[in-house]
Each structure stands twice: as structure tokens, then as C-alpha cells.
Amino acid sequence: AQKVTQAQTEISVVEKEDVTLDCVYETRDTTYYLFWYKQPPSGELVFLIRRNSFDEQNEISGRYSWNFQKSTSSFNFTITASQVVDSAVYFCALSERESTGNQFYFGTGTSLTVIP
């Protein structure tokens, strides 16, 4: 079963529009971490945010904001006033505590294209 689901495969928006990328996760652990990464065409993963399971406060960082809702097991990511430089693939990931280290489970990614 997929532990992290990103239902949106591809999204296109016009520059300056807001866009929300959805992420739904599944875990039985009470302690876990959720992440969002950006992967531009160069391939290198760019860390955006980490959220632990005990902190449901929403976070805003510039044009980025995240909505963590344990009740719906969702960790959605919103980009406000999108820009062409936001075009990339975005991955949501879940980290559960394992005895050998925290194993990451990645979603399938959402490819965002911002059209000028």
C-alpha cells in the first residue's frame, strides 16, 4: 500500500496564481515526520520543510505555506502568487522511526508548471 499519496501528477498554472499540492499519508506510528522537497530539472532535492507529528501548526514561509491536518492525514502545500521559478517536481515524504534509521517513503511527486 502506498504510504504517501500525491494524487496530482501534473499541474499547470498561470504565473501569479495560487496553487495547492495535495499530500495524504498513512502510518500507524505516533511519532513521524513529514517533508516536502522540490526537485528542479537539475535533479537535486531541495528541502522545503519538515514537520513532526506533534506539531499541527500551519507554517508560512514567504510564498509557501503548509497545512498539516492529522484528522485527515494530509499535509498540503500551497504556493501563493506562483512564479516561473517554482516550476519543478514536488515530493511529499513520510519518515517513520525504524530501528536502523528513519526510512523515507516518497510520494510519486507532482510536476508543477508555471506558465508565464
Q: Kindly list the residues in this chain that would bind another protein in the complex (CB under 8 A).
A: 33, 35, 37, 43-45, 47, 50, 52, 91, 95, 100-104, 106-109, 111
User: In the complex, what is the shortest distance from the CB of residue 40 to another protein, in angstroms, rounded to a whole number?
Assistant: 11
- Cα gap 27→51, rounded to integer Å: 15
Cβ closer to another protein: 44 or 71? 44
Q: How far is the CB of 81 from another protein (least distance, A)?
A: 27
Of 77, 4, 94, nearest to 38 (Cα)?
A: 77
Judged by DSSP in three states, 89 sits in strand
Q: Of 67 and 108, which CB lies nearer to another protein in the complex structure?
A: 108
**Letter string b/e over residues 60-79, b meaning 16 or more CB atoms within 10 A of that residue's CB:** eeeebbbbbeeeebbbbbbb
By beta-carbon proximity to another protein, the closer residue of 57 and 99 is: 99
